[in-house]
A and B are shown apart, each in its own frame.
Chain A
Amino acid sequence: MQFQKEELCLNPVFFLHYKSKRGWGFRFVYSKFIRAPAPNYTNPFYNDLNPFAISTGNPDLKTEKTNSFLTTANIYDFNSSINFNARPQYQNSNDAIIRNVFVNKDYIRTLSYQNNGKRVKLIALVNLSEKLNSWGVRFSLKNKLSYNAANSVVNFELNNVVSKDYLVKFFDAK
């Protein structure tokens, strides 16, 4: 059986860049993009190599269409050697590809996928670093906030799942 699907989409991108002065830059990007289902999401055969975690794809899956709004601000102040970056991003997707999970009484999980509702994603990054010459040190502070809301089917019940993450780093050691 051969699986073939064609879809024509128009994905515009709007880009605005503004530099107020040396070291100060602001950017706004609107883009529309599609996310095609991964090959294993559309494969209709049952994968039961692990008998406790069975998965099967859905050949009727449609692409997920996303509108993305991204703003970035990069500021470097040469006098105080302060570096500041901010990057808020909002994404709104239609026909979200969601998980359909069924767990039976023996804890055997069967996973599949379907299109259902919207997916809303908000990611905000704020970074600050500064060199303090009087103290002889350099410090950096990183913040990341993300909000993710989408539907998920758990044992035939449609849930709205909201995931919120917060990360703060006071100096990142590699």
Chain B
Amino acid sequence: MQNNRKRKVDLKGGETYQRNNTSFSIKNNLDREFTSQKYFGMIGFDVSKIFNINTRFDYIIYTDNGFSIQQKTPIWNAAMSYSL
């Protein structure tokens, strides 16, 4: 989802969910099931015509039947840009 008017502020947010299920008819010990969930949000702000600041946050969660724990990965990114 994102805002329509982007004159000053650019807003984006979303989610991705992925699931895989693989099964073997005889070698059942090779059966596998994993999921990944990704959430993100982003804000960009034009301070002036030549100066922009923006930040983005991603949060990713992986699960797999071969592992007992969930792997959670937060990623934060921030940037400033200035046109010369």
Contacts and interface: CB of A to CB of B under 8 A. Distances in A.
Interface string A155-174: 10111111111111111110
If over half of B's interface residues share one DSSP class (helix, strand or loop), that class is named, otherwise mixed; here it is strand
Interface string B13-47: 11111111111111100100000000010100000
A169 B22 contact: no
B65 interface: no
Interface of A: 131, 133, 136-139, 152, 154-155, 157-173
Given A168-B17, A169-B14, A171-B12, A161 B1 contact: no
Given A159-B25, A159-B26, A162-B22, A170 B16 contact: yes
A137 B22 CA distance: 38
Contact of B27 (A137, A138, A157, A162): A157
Contacts of B2: 137-139, 171
A165 B23 CA distance: 12
